[in-house]
Amino acid sequence: MSYPTDTDSNDDLDFNSAMQGVKRLKHDRHIEPASLKPRLKAAPDQASHYRRQAAAQEIEQVIDGLSSEASEIIESSDELLFASPGVQIRLLKRLRQGHIPWEAGLDLHGYTVDQARDELSSFIRDAVRQQLRAVIIVHGKAHTQPGQPALLKSCVNDWLRQLNPVIAFCSAQPRDGGTGAVYVLLKRER
């Protein structure tokens, strides 16, 4: 334990006397802590306008960050294949051949794009919660509307790539729907 001595108070006095006449430097690199910044308040009508605008944006915001538009339109006969980095080729090959049995399935026939997005997101979350390893998603081939692109298939392709629990997916075997369905491999929870 140290006790203040006369030399400590002399040091303080010496420092204070040495600092007399010194001005604090100001520069543009100094960032004021947020707690010291004055808070701006909007007028009541402006604040309610911003709240309404934020609420409208929240409604438009999609579940799990998935958009309702596909970045690339895929033909109905095209095969889908995706694997995140680190997935073994042997595992992907087994998935493509249908050798990893799927434990649950989701059929998106008859859904609008927005409904399909919500159902897919919810389905994947539930599958992860139930610790399922592989699932199947039937998106269809869009043959009911000749000349129309396979919009739902294209969206499913984009959405699955964006969902964190999905580590790989590929078009199903003909017995399970062929290019109208995908096998999805999910991360294992540890």
Domain boundaries, the chain: 79-186
pLDDT at 72: 72
User: Which tops the pLDDT comparison, 76 or 68?
Assistant: 76
Average pLDDT in the chain = 77
Give the H or E element holding residue 165: none
> Over the stretch 157-167, which tens digit does the pLDDT of each residue have?
999 999 999 99
pLDDT band for position 36 (50/70/90)?
A: very low
Residue whose C-alpha is closest to residue 160's, from 136, 129, 131: 136
pLDDT at 16: 77
Please determine, for residue 170, whether its predicted confidence score (pLDDT) is greater than 50: yes
Reported pTM: 0.62
Mean pLDDT for the stretch of residues 96-119: 92
Sign of the CA dihedral running 41, 42, 45, 51: negative
pLDDT band for position 77 (50/70/90)?
A: confident
Task: State which fold the 79-186 domain adopts.
Answer: Ribosomal Protein S8; Chain: A, domain 1 (3.30.1370)
CB 133 within 8 A of CB 119: no
pLDDT band for position 38 (50/70/90)?
A: very low
CA distance 60 to 73: 22
